[in-house]
Structure 1
Amino acid sequence: MAALGEAAARWAPGLWRRAARAAAAFGGCRFASGSQNPPTFGLLLDIDGVLVRGHQVIPAAREAFRRLVDSQGQLRVPVVFVTNAGNILQCSKAQELSALLGFQPLPRNEFPAIEGVLLLGEPVRWETSLQLIMDVLLSDGNPGTGLATAPYPHLPVLASNTDLLWMAEAKMPRFGHGTFLLCLEAIYRKVTGRELCYAGLMGKPSLLTYQYAEGLLARQAARRGWAAPIRSLYAVGDNPMSDIYGANLFHQHLQTRREGAARSCASILVCTGVYGPRAPGPAAPSPGGEGPPFHGHRDLGFSPGLLQAAHVVSDVHEAVRLVLGREGWAL
């Protein structure tokens, strides 16, 4: 749900880094020893629509993790779960996933202090959250006093999830936090005549999310004492606009940067969530025809070609088989 903390009058530079930890990715799992060479690749796995639908695990996810863990339930390769859902503590989500999928987590119990307005996910009662956020913005962080005129620029607003749609147990996609942001932006414009401005947009498809996830993979490998750098990343997701667009954008970034170990990020689209052969969610643009409606946030640039996944597979089990085969690991 949308997290509304104490609104600070001044922007705190450290919020960028701390919010990225809360909203971008989490990892830190134990890995197994074995005779196989240390991995030079890592997996970035989306959760909703890839591993679970609501509170129900997707059967293919269990099959995938049988290939990714050893007999002691420890992961054989570095894995980071990259999700835009920020309405649960990292440690709680790690414990939930480990119980569903059968691996041993080693989560860090970290959650940032909130300075400013930090929006993590769509709330349960939208009207209440919209009203409270507007109160804070229009009063410059003092909703108990009120101001004659609304301050502008307003307090910093940071959003960690711009997904218009996401997939739960229902057959049709559900409204995501991006839809909530649309409502907030429309209300602020209607009331003030000005545009709501964001100090930052994080979560997929933001580069910051993938840069942070890459760092987690590298630290996992370092903790195991694996000297070989993680060169290849594979990002598995169900939403073309967030998962695939973000992975392809990060791949472009990796082709031009001069520092860092990773050299590529391959996008893998599964058909168990927002995307499907007959799904109403965003699809890749057809050659020579009209592209799909843009489901991304208004402040994000749009390049239709980045919606094209490097690989399209049926589910996460097939995705894992694809990755292990490309890397020459035993299936």
Structure 2
Amino acid sequence: MPSAIPSRRFSNNGAGVAVDGMSSFAFAFDIDGVLLRSSTLIPGASEALKYLHDNNIPFILLTNGGGKHESTRVVELSKKLGVPLTEENFVQSHTPFKQLVEGDESESLKDKTILVTGGDGNKCRNIAEMYGFKNVVTPGDILVSYPSIWPFNQSFSEHYINNARPLPRSVDYENPSTSLKIDAVFVFNSPRDWALDSQIILDLLLSKDGVLGTYSQKNGDSSLPNNGWLQDCQPKLFFSNPDLFWATNHHLPRIGQGGFQASLQGVWDATTGGATLDKTIIGKPHAATYKYAERVLNKHRTQLLGGEGEHKKVIRLNRVFMVGDNPESDIRGANEFKSSHGAEWSSILVKTGVYREGTKPAYEPTVIVDDVMEAVKWGLQEEGCM
């Protein structure tokens, strides 16, 4: 059991604390491998977060996990961790997709038809709809309505029938103007049926205008940019999480969404002879996710410290301690992120997840500690609060 943090409030004389007791630092925590292994609480996690909560030290949970809506996940995590959490201090891998329903009509995907893949059953479809996307299709919908798209459809037919919805338009490649058209593809969470998802995504990337069953005549045309591949209004491709591995209750790391991405890339390369595959990848370590997370953290911090309105000014956030178990995502992202608000992000690598003790991390953290309790203690000591 990790040693506890002393049960006292931090000193107002600390370097990271203003005269009114307001901290100028905050924490960001990964979840899998830091706070939990699958559904099992890692020793010290609850105590560490409770200390921060009780002492009004801001923190957010920043995870490459997903597959459930934020409102559902914070209820589950609050119960497991014994600390009240809200959507205001919780960022999942796909949370930044919310931004794609905003903006003007020319940029927003709100009213477009999107393909959402990954996760269990209809959960990711439901999340996308809760974010504001109005026309959401899944690979299962397509398979049930158009079974010839995948020759092994019988293998999972009962599962897909139970979760499928009618398509907004039928698949009719001979009449493209009236056929189903997909404007964007979102990999929200780790796909369960890699074969079906890969086939449908590849079909769309080879299509004309995102119409299933069509094949662009520009494909392979050496007179065009990228030898003609992705030059015919194919749908945009988004991934929410680049993690090749993640920590579960198995004793060795398991393949994550990044494995599916690598597999799809391999099929694309073999199909096109190595043409560029345009895609947008968010999640740690990508700067867009850290930028989004810092904006969420600053907003949460302002509310937590009572800075709403004109009556109380919140001092600037100077430092964020990113606590993670994965050098490729948590540590790399924190090391490379350049805050537009001037905050320094320091990376703390724990030994309770993906990282294997005794190996050299691919990306060197600021410090390596045993677990999340030691990570919080180290951060507090750095700020002169212990």
Settle same-fold status: TM greater than 0.5: yes
| Partner in structure 2 of residue 95 of structure 1 | 75
Structure 1 CA distance for aligned equivalents of residues 186 and 87 of structure 2: 23
Equivalent residue for 1:301? none
Measured in 2, the distance between the counterparts of 1:315 and 1:107 equals 25
What is the rounded CA distance, in whole Å, between the counterparts of 1:206 and 1:261 in structure 2?
18
- The range that moved more, 225-234 or 268-277, is 225-234
1:185 aligns with 2:265: yes
Task: Assess if the C-alpha contact under 8 Å between 1:270 and 1:314 holds in 2.
Answer: yes
Q: Distance in 1 between matches of 2:216 and 2:384?
A: 67
- Partner Cα distance (1:165, 1:112) in 2: 30
Equivalent of 2:361 in 256, 278, 284 = 284
Over 3 Å counting, the alpha-carbon distance change for 1:309 and 1:112 in structure 2 is farther
User: One-letter code of the match for 1:111?
Assistant: Y
Aligned 8 A contact 1:236 1:267 in 2: yes
- Tell me, what secondary structure is at the counterpart of 1:66? helix
Aligned residue type for 2:317: I
**Among 3, 21, 35, the residue aligned to 1:37:** 21
User: Where in structure 2 are the equivalents of 1:16-27 lying within 5 Å?
Assistant: none
TM-score by length of 2: 0.63
The verdict on how the C-alpha distance between 1:232 and 1:112 changes in structure 2, with shifts beyond 3 A counting, is farther
Secondary structure of the 2:26 match is strand
Percent of pairs with identical residues: 34
CA distance in 2, matches of 1:152, 1:200: 14
Aligned partner of 2:327 in structure 1 is 240
* Structure 2: runs of 5+ lacking an equivalent: 1-11, 13-18, 89-126, 137-182, 220-228, 308-312
Q: 1:57 aligns with which of 27, 41, 45?
A: 41
User: 2:292 aligns to what?
Assistant: 212
Task: List aligned pairs for 1:110-125, cutoff 5 A.
Answer: 111=131, 113=133, 116-125=184-193
The aligned residue for residue 203 of structure 1 is: 283
What SS class does the counterpart of residue 42 from structure 1 fall into?
strand
Which residue number corresponds to residue 201 of structure 2? Answer: 133
Return the offset for 1:94. 1.3
Bigger Cα Rg: 2
Which residue of 1 is the match for residue 230 of structure 2?
Answer: 152
1:82 is matched with 62
Contact 1:157 1:197 in 2 (8 A): no
Across the aligned residues of Structure 1 and Structure 2, the Cα RMSD in angstroms comes to: 2.4
Cα distance between partner residues in 2 of 1:229 and 1:148: 53
- 8 Å CA contact 2:187, 2:238 repeated in 1: yes
231-240 or 114-123, which deviates more: 114-123
Deviations 1:283-326 (A, max 9, x none): 326xxxxxxxxxxxxxxxxxxxxx11101000001101111222
Partner Cα separation in structure 2 for residue 81 and residue 196 of structure 1: 34
Residues 1:106 and 2:86 are matched in the alignment: yes
Structure 1: segments with no counterpart, 5+ residues: 1-33, 286-306
1:59 counterpart SS class: coil
CA 1:195 to 1:52, structure 2 compared with 1: closer, same or farther past 3 Å? farther
- Is 1:158–1:198's contact at 8 Å kept on the other side of the alignment? no
1:240-285 deviation per Cα after TM superposition (whole angstroms, max 9, x unaligned): 11111111001xx24xxxx5242x1110000000002157xxx326
The two structures have a TM-score, normalised by structure 1, of 0.72
